[in-house]
Chain A
Amino acid sequence: MKRFILACAFIAALSASVFAQQSTAFAEKPALVTSIGQSADFEMIKVLLNRAKVPYTADSLVKAEKLDGSAKTLILVVGASSKGLGAAGISAEAELVRTHALLKKAKELKLSIIVMHVGGAARRGAMSDSFIKPCMEVADYAIVVASGDEDGLFTDLAAKAKINLAKVDRISAAGTPLAASFK
């Protein structure tokens, strides 16, 4: 019985760390939100930012050279959509090049970086994962809908990057940790 209680306590402690949210607001306003993978999830994050009354600029295809420091926080809406990439007229390879350049410039400008993955399992797979990994390496915080982390990819990447990861059950619930991360 003792062993069972200890095991439960261990699992509870582990879960608490996995579901940890950013305890203090760290991100400055205004934000720049962009898509990494051109999925429609980008539109949903705009709705959440409007609800949270966070001032932002949205540019799904923003390039590194457009970052000038006027936005203090970069929100990356991560997840690939073949249809979205096609509609945007950009290949997956070109999107990855844009992403790497964007991340490099954001770090140079010392922007806070928030990764948001709200598409669940549908926004996972080889193409999506190729976008997720470089973004998580440089992120300061990540907010994901839990069904997108069933294999623990985000949990592992967050642990490696030593950043907090907020896992929520549904898209609308992502608004709370997102709003709380802004000063």
Chain B
Amino acid sequence: MKIFKRLIPVALVALLLLGGFQSVFAQKAPTVIPEVVSSQGMVASAHPLASQAGLDILKAGGNAVDAVVATAFANGVVEPNANGLGGEGYIVIYRKAENKATSIDYRSRASFNPPKEGEKWPNPGHRGVAVPGTVAGLAMALEKYGTMSLSQVLQPAIKIAEEGFVVSPTLAGVISDNFKRIMQNDYLMSIVAPDGLPLEAGDVYKNPDLVKTLKLLASEGADAFYKGEIARLLVDDMKAHDGLIDMNDLAQYKAIEREPATGLYRGYDIVSAPAPVGGFLLIQSLNMLENYNLKFLGFDSAMKLHLFAEVLARAFDDYYNVLGDPDYVDVPMKALTSQGYADAKAKSIKLDAMTSKYDKVDPNSEHWSTTHMSVVDKDGNVVALTQTLSSFFGAAVAAPGTGIILNNEMGNFNGKKGTAAYAPGKRMNTTIAPTLIMKDGQSFATLGTPGAMRIVPTLAQIVTNMIDYGMGIQEAIEAPRMYCTYLQGPGKTTMELEGALFPKKTMDDLALLGYKIKSYDNRDLYFGGVQGIIIKDGQLYGGADPRRDGAVFGY
């Protein structure tokens, strides 16, 4: 109980000292990866070749949307485990000239063909595959807000796919970790384990069928994927393996432009991806955190980490109980992102004791493999894009002749009830949250991360690292992270964190508060791979995550 006596006075003081400090956003500590600074344009992604693809498009006169689409296609080649043509995503775009933000939902959706009664969506396997949205989403972004043709922005991806690329230790580790699932699909084995064992770091990864598919998209457009030759190959593979997706499912797929989810955190506008994904969770978490002076609590104190656990648990309650496909259920996005709702939720938080059970607040009264890329162009247009296959290597199946690895998004319906429950043609919930931050009508930052359920906790930490602790982007990305979104009371709640990078006292204090600790030896891929760019005083500051193969290029 000694810790409580020590914490209570500090807590009371902290609660009284809200706000009132100046952030600097300058790198103050040395980083593993140097922060990148430029002035004209910048691309941050999870792979150097993908970032280079986007930068080449910017230099060729393309805007941020052209560049992010090129980066996304290229990233689908070099991070085949995390995204690609068989996956999906969400993009948030800010257009400087119109001073307007928008978002494009290219989440995958369930087939209209019903499952067997009581069927659980499998992983691995074809029945776990949802209708992919990547091609439709990127094509829509390009058509509405880009300046280049699909063929132009596909060229870097085609070149990388034709030449092959060197497998990084990160990719080698992911292939190895997922080998048991991969082994069950001969065609996928032929791509990532061509001699019967996983490709290793330093090997050259080639996928000749994907080259053909990308060239077909370049020459025939998105219809080749949803109605043409690629669609036929995908459906043939589905038929051969009892999959649900048919030609009608593909032909009916549409990307959807949506109003972004928005909020305000300490004077910064947060613009993120709306339902059915996780942007509102980030905004709601930040709204709750705004009630506390984080700087006073300290970056690495047990009390601050405990506060995050309390806040995130309250936010994630809505992920499980309120979120759903807005085309199928009513999602009160305005209420979910309102300050009043967050304040009501935060009232039950105690800084010196863990919550075992908390009262739900009615939102209507006020409420494990992905990748992210961020782009800023010379005209001040800013984009955040996150896309995924759900699990690493998705459903661990690839469609012969296409080189396309297919998602396992249907698994996101497993065990879900209410607003998140399965329905034919419905988009499933997920936590991806590509996010833009604005200050006084000007772009301030673009960021996002993979990491499944760690996405929102990680982004909340990055945003507060920048805004509350004044860290530069690279420093904010490299700072140690925690994850805890489910409180069951002292002795029953596990907090996962990069424990080796936190002070021993913090770990001891968390244990005294009743947390079971799962500590990681170093920065770990488990906590995501953030890519981000800060825009300040006419300069661009780019950060990439050493937890993954992140790379930032600017000019």
Binding site for B on A (CB under 8 A): 39-41, 43-44, 47-48, 51, 81-84, 119-122, 125-127, 147, 170-172
Contacts and interface: CB of A to CB of B under 8 A. Distances in A.
Interface of B: 169, 173, 176-180, 183, 195-198, 200-201, 518, 521-522, 526
Contact of A122 (B173, B180, B195, B518): B173
A171 B180 CA distance: 15
B393 to A, nearest CB: 12
Given A84-B177, A127-B521, 4 more contacts: A125-B521, A125-B522, A147-B201, A171-B197
Contact of B197 (A82, A84, A127, A172): A172
A175 B196 CA distance: 12
A82 B198 CA distance: 20
Contacts of A39: 177
A171 B177 contact: no
Contact of A171 (B169, B173, B200, B521): B200
A170 B196 CA distance: 13
Contacts of A82: 518, 526
Which 4 A-B residue pairs are closest in the complex by CB-CB distance? A125-B521, A122-B173, A40-B179, A43-B180
A125 B500 CA distance: 11
8 contacts: A40-B178, A41-B176, A44-B176, A44-B179, A84-B177, A122-B176, A125-B521, A171-B200
Interface of A is mostly: helix
Nearest to A39: B177
Given A121-B169, A122-B169, A125-B521, A170 B200 contact: yes
Given A122-B169, A126-B521, A44 B198 contact: yes
A81 B180 CA distance: 13
A116 B200 CA distance: 17
Central interface residue in B180, B183, B195, B197, by most chain A CB within 10 Å: B197
A81 B522 CA distance: 15
A180 B178 CA distance: 28
A44 B177 contact: no
A39 B176 CA distance: 9
Nearest to A170: B200
Contacts of A171: 197-198, 200
Nearest to A128: B521
Nearest to A118: B176
Contact of A47 (B178, B196, B518): B196
Given A83-B177, A122-B173, A43 B195 contact: no
Contact of B195 (A40, A84, A172): A172
Contacts of B200: 170-171
A172 B203 CA distance: 12
B197 A44 contact: yes
A120 B169 CA distance: 10
Nearest to A119: B176
Contacts of B176: 40-41, 44, 119, 122
A171 B173 CA distance: 12
A114 to B, nearest CB: 18
A43 B183 contact: yes
A125 B498 CA distance: 13
B129 to A, nearest CB: 21
A92 to B, nearest CB: 10
Nearest to B522: A125
Contacts of A170: 200
A39 B200 CA distance: 16
Contacts of B183: 43
Contacts of B179: 40, 43-44
Nearest to A122: B173
Nearest to B177: A40
Contacts of A122: 169, 173, 176
- Choose among A81, A119, A122, A127 the residue with the greatest number of B CB atoms under 10 Å from its CB: A122
Contacts of B197: 44, 47-48, 171-172
A89 B436 CA distance: 39
A41 B173 CA distance: 10
A172 B176 CA distance: 13
A40 B521 contact: no
Contacts of A127: 521
A90 B123 CA distance: 21
A39 B174 CA distance: 12
B81 to A, nearest CB: 13
A143 to B, nearest CB: 15
A39 B177 CA distance: 7
Nearest to A44: B197
Nearest to B173: A122
B177 A81 contact: yes
A39 to B, nearest CB: 8
Nearest to B202: A170
Nearest to A175: B197
Contacts of A119: 176
A112 B144 CA distance: 67
Contacts of A125: 521-522
A38 to B, nearest CB: 11
Contacts of A40: 176-180
